[in-house]
Every structure is written in structure tokens, then in C-alpha cells.
């Protein structure tokens, strides 16, 4: 059996637990919107056609913000197509995913969905094929109370009060050659700065996100952030980061260490932003919106869009099925985001329903939770107060992609009001239990109020042979009680199964 130790103390604070870390993403892609959140013929559909069973799971998942309407989709999107009478809305080609967009769901419908789902919108503007004036127009439509052409159009469309949307993404992945309207860093930086200036003339109380790199492995990573922020530093608040991970060629050790790569990604973006700050003698600090992250098996057949003359509405796309090992990685990636809460101020799990998602639906039928649902929901529910520094000592293992990686990872949150200490831990070892021993003397006398682990014995099987949730069975593998957890003599301990994600909740005696 392996052994790992950790030290945590309430005096060493990284920063607050930010609710915006628990965001998600709804893009007009595949079945995320149509037959995902929106299915007017479903028995639970409300007056707007939104599925109540999905809304219930979104609330259970603990999502705080939802980024919309893309994603790659936004870079050729005409937001005006999605307002007004539904029967008058045009069908358009979606260049990003080679589909047809019916515009049945648009801005006003999405805002009503946000209200019933209890989430805050994070809107993206089109800086791929549109520009400054289009960004100002959509902001006028959403945020101006009335008295102008576009604000009065919103009122005529049924929304008397302004939406007051505060979080806005200035385009999407403009560094990517795949993006409609792809730009160089200099071109995009200038455009983002001008769009931001104009948007703040309409509403100065906005949080604006500039496009950072779509991946740490892109050749422009680092130089892109430096150039964009040199152009737009004073006009924006956050810079985005996007990262997707998957198990490749049966290399489970590298996959389980994905959070090591995310840690490095965050730290390198922070270093670049701070270099621009120093060179430009700026007062404020730019932080990160990690507004796309997840496990995505991008090379699988279900991730390949249609082609030729086939432009379907809401095709099956990116509908990955997730194993328990995938859930362990998702839980660990969320731990990485929390660990950097001082500089990661927002994040979005991409996506929410059907498309590489924790929630799956059948058109007109059942809804179920994927394995990745559970670590996200539990972390969102119980991470409160402050994120604390954790010093971890544990054996390391060599990985092909990330070099040496510790087999143990731990993140801690502390609610100063209730005194509750929560430890989130991952055992990356493939075939060995790990005894976790944490020094918690600084918190006084504690007791275990809940301890759960999520693990499976099938991680040594080929990926397609592992267990994954289905409409027929989404409960065979769940986070279950870990009876080994205990606190004694100022030390918390538990035995963590191989390839597992665990949560230990400790409270004052």
C-alpha cells in the first residue's frame, strides 16, 4: 500500500472559493440545445419548450454560470436571427459544425431558461465575422432599459426589464485556424480592445474576457497572450484558457495526470499576463477565465461533423460516454481550478447537455447522469469559504506526456463560518490503494461528517469495455461511503482506492 501525507492550516489561504468556477457551457452544437435543454414535445417541457427534468439536474449539478451561444458557433452567428416571432426566424448554415441552425431558441429564450435554471448568463459576441458595432448592438438589446431602437425591440419581444448581463466573452478561440474569421494576435488584440471600449461606453459595469489560447500545445501559446494583452490590457478583465484531455493509446497514467498539465497551463498564462503588466506599468492584474475544459475524445467518430450537402438540424455530435476513470480526471481538473483560485476567477465545464456533457437525454424521453456529473456536483455543493494551501508528500510515477507526476493530489476548502474543512483527493495509482494522512491540527478537534470515494475496478480494461452510465443504468457506480475515514490526534486519514476521486468533510467536534 502507498502512503501520502499532507499538511493544511487555516492561516495559509490561496483565495476565496469562487462560485463562477462552477460554470458550464451551452453551445448551438449537436443536441446540446435542441432535444437537450429544449424539447417542446417532452412531457416535462414548460411553455418555452425547455425540459424541466434537465433543469432539475442542472440545479443538482450546481452550475453557477452558463456560457452561450458558443464556442465556434458564435463566430458566424447573427444574434438578430434569434429574436422576434419564432415562425419568422430564418434557417442558417452553421459553418462551425456543418449543421443547420433553425434559430428556434435565441437570446430571449435562453435568458428565460437561465432564470428558471437559476444560472447567470455569460454571453459571447461575434468577433469572427461581425465586429464592434454588432457587439454594441447586442449589448444595447440586452442591457439598455428602453428608449432606443434595439432596447424597445427587446421590450416588444416580451422582456420589459433589461437583462443586465455583466459577463461577456470577446469572441471565441480567435487564435485557432479552424475558427471562422481567425485572426492574428495583433489583429484580434486591436479588435478586442476596440469592442471593449465601445461596450463600456454603453455599460461600464461589465466583466470582459479576451480570447487566450485554445490549447497549451499550440505554436502561438504564450506569444498570443502577450500580444493580445499588450493591445487590450486596460480594456479587459480576464483572458480565457481552453483545454481538453483524453486517454490516448491506452496511456492511462498520462491521462490521470492531466491536472498536472492544467496547473502548468494556468501558471504560464499568469506569468505572461504579469509580464505584460510589469512592462506596461499597469495597476490591475489580469486573471483567467478557464471557460472551456473537460475530457473530450476528439478523434472518435461521434466528434466528426457532417459533410458535403448534409446540413442537418441538431445532429448527434460529440456525445462521448464517460468511464469512472474519466470522472476521476474531471474531478481532478476541477481541483486544479480551485487550487489556482487566486488567478482563476471563472471557469466553464464544456458542455452541459449531450455534447461531451455530464447530463444526457433521449429526444422526448429519459435523462441521466454521466459519471462526470458526480465529482462536479459534490465539489460545487461542498466547496465553500476559502481555498487553502496544501503541502503534499507522496510517491511519484513517470508519465509519457507529463513527466514525473505525484500519485496523490489534494485540495482543501475551509468555511470559516461553519468551521467545515473539506479535502478533495485523487489517487492516480493504477493498482495500489493509498493511505492518506493529513495534518489538520490547526483546526482544533474535528470529526468526519462525510467521506465518499468514486472508483471502479474496470480501469485496466480497454476504454470501450469499461462501465459507463446509460439511460438504463446510471447508478451501478456512484460515489460511495468510505468507511476508512477517521480523525485522531489532529490527523485525518483515509484509504483511497486505486484510480479514485474522494471527498472528506470534517467538522468541529
Is the CB of residue 287 less than 8 Å from the CB of residue 344?
Answer: yes
**What value, to the nearest 5°, has the Cα angle with vertex 23 and ends 392 and 257?**
35
- What is the distance, to the nearest Å, from the Cα of residue 481 to the centroid of all Cα atoms in its chain? 27
- What is the distance, to the nearest Å, from the Cα of residue 223 to the centroid of all Cα atoms in its chain? 24
313: exposed, middle or buried (Cβ count in 10 Å: 0-12, 13-18, 19+) = middle
362 is an active site residue: no
Residue 400: partners with Cβ closer than 8 Å, 6 or more residues away: 251, 253, 254
Please list, residue by residue across 278-304, b when 16 or more beta carbons sit within 10 angstroms of its beta carbon and e when fewer do: eeeeeeeebbbbbbbbbbbbeeeeebe
d(CA 374, CA 192): 37
d(CA 399, CA 389): 25
Grid cell digits, residue 63: 452550475
Is the CB of residue 103 less than 8 Å from the CB of residue 88?
Answer: no
d(CA 44, CA 22): 26
Count of beta carbons in the 10 Å neighbourhood of residue 250: 10
Count of beta carbons in the 10 Å neighbourhood of residue 509: 9
In SS3 terms, 420-436 reads as CEEEEEEECCCCCCEEE
403: exposed, middle or buried (Cβ count in 10 Å: 0-12, 13-18, 19+) = exposed
Distinct helix (H) and strand (E) counts, the chain: 10, 24
d(CA 389, CA 412): 7
Q: How many CA atoms lie within 13 A of 460 on its CB side?
A: 6
Grid cell digits, residue 41: 414535445
Grid cell digits, residue 426: 485523487
Candidate list 173, 231, 247, 386, residue with the active-site label: 173
Q: What are phi and psi of 175, to 5 degrees?
A: -80, -15
3-state helix, strand, coil in the chain (%, to 5): 30, 30, 40
Candidate list 231, 292, 386, 420, residue with the active-site label: 292
319 is an active site residue: no
Q: Which are the catalytic amino acids?
A: 173, 292
Amino acid at each position: 500500500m502507498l502512503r501520502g501525507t499532507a499538511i493544511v492550516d487555516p492561516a495559509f489561504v490561496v483565495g476565496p472559493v469562487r462560485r463562477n468556477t462552477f460554470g458550464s457551457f451551452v453551445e448551438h452544437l449537436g443536441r446540446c440545445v435542441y432535444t437537450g435543454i429544449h424539447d417542446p414535445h417532452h412531457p416535462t417541457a414548460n411553455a418555452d419548450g425547455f425540459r424541466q427534468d434537465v433543469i432539475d439536474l442542472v440545479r443538482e449539478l450546481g452550475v453557477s454560470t452558463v456560457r452561450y451561444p458558443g464556442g465556434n458557433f458564435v463566430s458566424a452567428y447573427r444574434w438578430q436571427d434569434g429574436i422576434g416571432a419564432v415562425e419568422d426566424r430564418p434557417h442558417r448554415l452553421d459553418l462551425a459544425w456543418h449543421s443547420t441552425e433553425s434559430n428556434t431558441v435565441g437570446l430571449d429564450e435562453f435568458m428565460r431558461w437561465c432564470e428558471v435554471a437559476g444560472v447567470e448568463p455569460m454571453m459571447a459576441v461575434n468577433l469572427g465575422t461581425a465586429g464592434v458595432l454588432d457587439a454594441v448592438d447586442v449589448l444595447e438589446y440586452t442591457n439598455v432599459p428602453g428608449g432606443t431602437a434595439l432596447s424597445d425591440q427587446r421590450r416588444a419581444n416580451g422582456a420589459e426589464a433589461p437583462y443586465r448581463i455583466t459577463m461577456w466573452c470577446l469572441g471565441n478561440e480567435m487564435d485557432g485556424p479552424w475558427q471562422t474569421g481567425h485572426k492574428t494576435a495583433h489583429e484580434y488584440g486591436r479588435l478586442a480592445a476596440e469592442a471593449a471600449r465601445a461596450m463600456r461606453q454603453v455599460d461600464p459595469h461589465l466583466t470582459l474576457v479576451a480570447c487566450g489560447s485554445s490549447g497549451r500545445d499550440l505554436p502561438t501559446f504564450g506569444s498570443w497572450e502577450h500580444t493580445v494583452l499588450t493591445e487590450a490590457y486596460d480594456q479587459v478583465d480576464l483572458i480565457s484558457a481552453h483545454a481538453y484531455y483524453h486517454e490516448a493509446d491506452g496511456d492511462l497514467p498520462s491521462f490521470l495526470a492531466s491536472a498536472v498539465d492544467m496547473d502548468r497551463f494556468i501558471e504560464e498564462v499568469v506569468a505572461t499576463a504579469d509580464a505584460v503588466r510589469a512592462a506596461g506599468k499597469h495597476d490591475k492584474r489580469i486573471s483567467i477565465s478557464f471557460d472551456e475544459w473537460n475530457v473530450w475524445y476528439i478523434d472518435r467518430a461521434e466528434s466528426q461533423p457532417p459533410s458535403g450537402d448534409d446540413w442537418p438540424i441538431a445532429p448527434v455530435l460529440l456525445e462521448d460516454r464517460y468511464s469512472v476513470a474519466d470522472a476521476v480526471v474531471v474531478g481532478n481538473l476541477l481541483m486544479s481550478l480551485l487550487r489556482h483560485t487566486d488567478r482563476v476567477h471563472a471557469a466553464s465545464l464544456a458542455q452541459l447537455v449531450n455534447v461531451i456533457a455530464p447530463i444526457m437525454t433521449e429526444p422526448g424521453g429519459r435523462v441521466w447522469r454521466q459519471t462526470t456529473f458526480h465529482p462536479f456536483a459534490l465539489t460545487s455543493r461542498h466547496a465553500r469559504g476559502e481555498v487553502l494551501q496544501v503541502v503534499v508528500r507522496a510517491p511519484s510515477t513517470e508519465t509519457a506526456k507529463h513527466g514525473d507526476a505525484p500519485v496523490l493530489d489534494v485540495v482543501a476548502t475551509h468555511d470559516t463560518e461553519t468551521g467545515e474543512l473539506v479535502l478533495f483527493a485523487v489517487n492516480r495509482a493504477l493498482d495500489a490503494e493509498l493511505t492518506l494522512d493529513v495534518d489538520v491540527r490547526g483546526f482544533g478537534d474535528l470529526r468526519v461528517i462525510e467521506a465518499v470515494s468514486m472508483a471502479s475496478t474496470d480501469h485496466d480494461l480497454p476504454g470501450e469495455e469499461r462501465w459507463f452510465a446509460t439511460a438504463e443504468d446510471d447508478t451501478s457506480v456512484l460515489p460511495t461511503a468510505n468507511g476508512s475515514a477517521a480523525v485522531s490526534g489532529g490527523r485525518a486519514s483515509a484509504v483511497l482506492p486505486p484510480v479514485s476521486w474522494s471527498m472528506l468533510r470534517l467538522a468541529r467536534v
